[in-house]
Chains A and B, each alone.
Chain A
Amino acid sequence: MNYGEVRQKDCFAGCCTVSIGCRFRVRGRGGKRDVLRVGTEATFPPFEFTDDDDNIIGFDIDIIEYIAEDNGWDIEVIHLPFDSLIESLETDKLDIVVAAMTILPDRAERVLFSEPYYDASQVMVVRENEDRIFAVEDIADLGLKVAVQMGTTGAFEGEGIFGDENHPNLKQFKRANEAFLELKNGRADLVIIDEPVAKNYLAQLGGMKLLGNPFTNEQYGIAVQKTDTKTMAKINASLEKMVSCGAYDALFKKWFDE
């Protein structure tokens, strides 16, 4: 779908409703929207990123498009800062979030997660010329600067390491690529991020390497608004169908086979 055009059309439509009180139009839809608003954060390849024409593509996008087609939904994919996604579901700015989002208890209190659809893990990325070998537990003692993406599990790991989300050695960025740039430019010593994303940026930017092994066990889920059990039932049913009919494997192969 053409991301730019769709966004703009919606934006203009939104504008016209300002004067006639769009509060009433947007609320009270009871899950019966013409176009479902899907939120993501498009600097997270290969899960979600933009192609040369600014279309948002990736593993997650293919998954949600499959689910949408399965249920006859029209969707519109919206790029937002990762740390705004849950808030946007809660405040009814979005209907679905598919953003390589790890199912966490704190998040599950605020939104409804699907069955897990991907097993993930955090890794450490350092510059290629880094000769120190260290474990996650050593980061604080060594006084290393860590770059992470705000609101991600990588950021939560960082907060755990330093015991403080505002620690001066923990640099939080809105976008994943900015964390990698910080590392590349020498203003941070390592990045903590999901493994496939790390590999992707490694290949694109060069000059960096993975350090040690993946050190967390996480699962990604698709999220909807807390009370929207109806949409979630359909998402779960489609996910199950995807796996059993082999479509999931095909997508997995498409995005993760090196």
Chain B
Amino acid sequence: MKIIDYELIIRTLPKLLDGAKLSLLVSLSAAALGISLGVIIASGRLSKFWFFKVLAGAYVAFLRGTPMIVQIFIVHYGLAEFKFNLPALASGIIALSLNSGAYMGEVFRGGIQSIDIGQTQAGLSLGLTPFQVFRHIVFPQAFRRVIPAMGNEMVTLTKDSALVGYIGIAELTYRATLIASRTFEYFTMYIGVAIVYFAITYTMSWLLSSLERRLESR
């Protein structure tokens, strides 16, 4: 008995790559939306107003403290009961973005807080406005520091995109599962899929670490 059915992989590769495109679409869209949401969450958590602080804190606690698949079902099936009906792809991207926003928010908060408060005070005493201090002093340093953590979150998101198959999005894992269901070549299909995911996440990590190096050398 052969361990890996190469012929099957080659034959199904175009379908799998189509699925990988959807996985990428879901995870990259969710990362972009998650980063935007994360900025809002981080500003909330660092806000002087207790209301925003509590709101952002509660958001992070809830989204980090519940399973992603449950969040996906809430967005896709739960909300539909209240006439807020989204197509599967939209549900998938929104659920992943909401989840990622919580993590990204914490990443940004950590980055901003890692910049010594003395720098802000120095900037302010030189007559810069708080926004100028953030824009020219805190943000450039914080951004460089959060890249590795941001990269981690993007890799996590890519892997978690496998969950949206449950609501009928024909992403990579969904397609592989269907093929495995038909052929019973579970080892072959899932090893093949693992390699495709790894190629995606490794490329992501590599791109981000080269961005980090470029920013350092300046």
Please, which residues of chain B bring their CB within 8 A of the CB of A14? 86-90
* A240 contacts partner chain B, Cβ-Cβ < 8 Å: no
CA distance in complex: A27, B80 (Å): 10
The answer to whether the Cβ of A50 comes within 8 Å of any Cβ in the partner chain is yes
**Interface band, chain B:** 35 or more
Interface string of B6-40 (1 = CB under 8 A from A): 00000110010010011001000100000000000
Pick the interface stretch among B109-117, B129-137, B152-160, B173-181. B173-181
Measured between beta carbons, the chain A residues less than 8 angstroms from B11 are: 52
Which residues from 88 to 130 on chain A have a C-beta closer than 8 Å to any C-beta of chain B?
Answer: 88, 90-93
| B90:A80 contact, CB within 8 angstroms | no
Indicate which residue in A26, A42, A205 contacts B178 across the interface (CB closer than 8 Å): A42
Closest-CB distance, B54 to chain A (whole angstroms): 29
A23/B182 in contact, CB under 8 A: no
List the one stretch of A4-12, A134-142, A157-165 in contact with chain B: A4-12
Q: Is B77 an interface position by the 8 A CB rule?
A: yes
Task: Tell me the chain A residues, 15-56 only, with Cβ under 8 Å from chain B.
Answer: 15, 17-18, 22-23, 26-27, 39, 42-43, 49-50, 52-54
Main secondary structure of the interface of B (DSSP, over half): helix
Chain A residue numbers with a CB within 8 Å of B18 are: 4, 8
8 additional A-B residue pairs with CB within 8 Å, beyond A11-B88, A15-B90, A78-B168: A23-B85, A23-B86, A43-B178, A43-B181, A81-B166, A88-B168, A90-B81, A91-B81
Instruction: Spell out B's residues near A (CB within 8 Å).
Output: 11-12, 15, 18, 21-22, 25, 29, 76-77, 80-81, 83-90, 93-94, 166-170, 174-175, 177-179, 181-182, 184, 186
What are 19 A-B pairs at a CB distance below 8 A? A4-B18, A10-B87, A11-B169, A14-B88, A14-B89, A14-B90, A15-B25, A15-B29, A26-B87, A42-B178, A42-B181, A54-B175, A80-B168, A88-B77, A92-B80, A92-B85, A93-B80, A204-B184, A205-B184
Residues of A within 8 A of B (CB): 4, 7-8, 10-12, 14-15, 17-18, 22-23, 26-27, 39, 42-43, 49-50, 52-54, 78-81, 84, 87-88, 90-93, 175, 177-178, 181, 204-205
